[in-house]
Structure 1
Amino acid sequence: MKNFRQQQHRPKKNTLVIGREAVIDAMKSGKQLERIYLQTTIHGPVIDEIRLLAEQNLVPINKVPVEKLNGFNISNHEGCVAMISKIQYQNLQDIISFIVEKGEVPLFLILDGITDIRNIGAIARSAFCFGVNAIIIPDKGVGALNEDAILTSAGALENIAICRVNSLMKTVDELHLNGIKVFASEMTAAKKVFELNLNEPCAIVMGGEEHGVYQPLLKICDEQFQIPMTSDFDSLNVSVATGIILYEVMKQRY
């Protein structure tokens, strides 16, 4: 049987930061990292410093076996390798202020628990086409915005603002403080997507296909909605659903 899974390309060496001190220096100098891979068996003060700096800089840490690190085809990694980000992450409040000053109606997309980079790439492509101001992702529990994700997005990930935050719950509070309503996609919701007022400043929350939107996050959203379907099939692919929702936003606004 053929394997139809998308091939994951090995990162180029010039996109990696190799070794513990090199990773520390990169974060202290302000270099944006996509994520850090730490060997599961290593511990000590230097590792604690890496963890602290990663938390301060919103850099995800993946604990991996040594075989994963060896798979990068590098030597002397000391159980620690970081991937340099191809995305320049933006500050959410700066984006909001910029949009308001331009006199535009804010539209944000929040991704919660979406780990498949092909879906993330396809979502970014739709977001760019339908006028989303920025995509908001958490620093943990989301697929890496690596070369494969950028390729799947047809380059959209490099042309739309991305905000990485350490708490989606706090982010919803920040959006509310700026007068932006937050709507969550939930397949059991009573309200249909076309019944929402999408002309107002808003953010759309899309959850992973397996678990949907995190329940506590769902509860603090202003409204929940669904995409009506003629069959009782389980659900739409999340990237397809996102495209449908964003088209509805564009239809209402234009």
Structure 2
Amino acid sequence: MKKLEIVYGIHPLIEAIVAKKTIDKIFFKRGLKKVSNAHKKLINLSKKEHIPIKIVSKQQFFQLKNKNHQGVFAVLPPIKTYYIEDLLPIFYEKGKNPLLIILDRITDVRNFGSIIRTAACAGADAIIIPKQDTAMIGSDSIKTSSGALFQVPICKEKNILNTIEFLKNSGLKIVSATEKSNIYWYNIDFSGPTALILGNEEKGISSKYLKISYEKAKIPAIKGISSLNVSVACGVILYEIFRQRKYKSKIRF
């Protein structure tokens, strides 16, 4: 039997309900000092979806004592993961212009969650991660993504190099976000099917992935700052992709 996940925080639970996840009941902490509008939204949504609410003592929140739980939690089945080989044909059949994100050894759960949230907002179709050397998919990453992990399919792949080759052969342009380039991100054509690679917080993208990338996208920084945080870089590039696809143009300098 797979381990269940404790999902805590208002927005992750709202996202779980919207995504039609199986929720038996939602636990509220007795004696909440402040019931915010967000709490009320969660209560109303729970009632609408016929999800029971149970008031429990603060002792029930003991294992979340160092977490920003906002006085609410629920127990859910683990998040399902996929293989991109199964999803990509479905994307094409639906007439999508696929946008995929490949995370190379992103281990910081805050960066991981932030990337997932940004990807969901920018319309990414799937996130690809390795089976090892990655942030865990679980309670903390659900919280740091504000529940966006319920919205974007996560593909766990044993061999990322083979996955990239598969994507290339399937018509996707492979673009690596790296300072080891002279091409700025806004001068790359993202209008077609694209897989964006983002690298480890300290080491960047593996050289073997850089070698097989079609393009390398650089985001310049002011002298003295080596590079952007990976989740910030993700947002910068994803919204250029969004802009190009919506307005059909690239900026040229």
- Any residues of structure 2 matched to 1:235-250 within 5 Å, and which? 235-250=227-242
Query: What is the RMSD of the two structures over their aligned residues, measured on CA atoms?
Result: 1.8
Identical counterparts, % of pairs: 38
Unpaired runs of at least 5, structure 2: 7-62, 64-75, 247-253
- Counterpart for residue 161 of structure 1: 153
Which secondary structure does the structure 2 equivalent of 1:208 belong to?
Answer: coil
Residue 203 of structure 1 corresponds to 195
Tell me if structure 1 keeps the 8 A contact 2:5–2:138.
no
- Aligned to 2:179, the other structure's residue is in SS state coil
CA drift at 1:231: 3.4
Answer yes or no: is 1:138 the counterpart of 2:138: no
Q: Deviations over 1:116-154 (max 9, x none)?
A: 011000000000000100000000110111101100101
Residues 176 and 198 in structure 2, CA contact (< 8 A), matched pair in contact too: yes
Q: Deviations over 1:98-131 (max 9, x none)?
A: 1111111110000001100110000000000001
TM-score, length-scaled by structure 2? 0.66
Gaps spanning 5+ residues in structure 1: where? 1-12, 17-71, 73-83
Tell me the TM-score normalized by structure 1: 0.66
The residue aligned with 1:228 is 220
After TM superposition, give the deviation of residue 97 of structure 1 in Å.
1.0
- Report the alpha carbon displacement of residue 228 of structure 1 after superposing the two structures with TM: 2.1
Compute the displacement of 1:15 (Å).
4.9
1:96 is paired with a residue of what secondary structure? helix
Change (3 A) 1:178 1:153: same
- Name the counterpart of 1:182: 174
Per-residue deviation, 1:200? 0.9
Shift of 1:184: 0.5
Aligned pair partner of 1:151 in 143, 147, 153: 143
**Equivalent pairs, count:** 176
The SS at the match of 1:86 is: coil
Give, in angstroms, the shift of residue 242 of structure 1. 0.3
Contact 1:139 1:165 (8 Å CA) reproduced: yes
For the pair 1:90 / 2:108, whether they are aligned, the reply is no
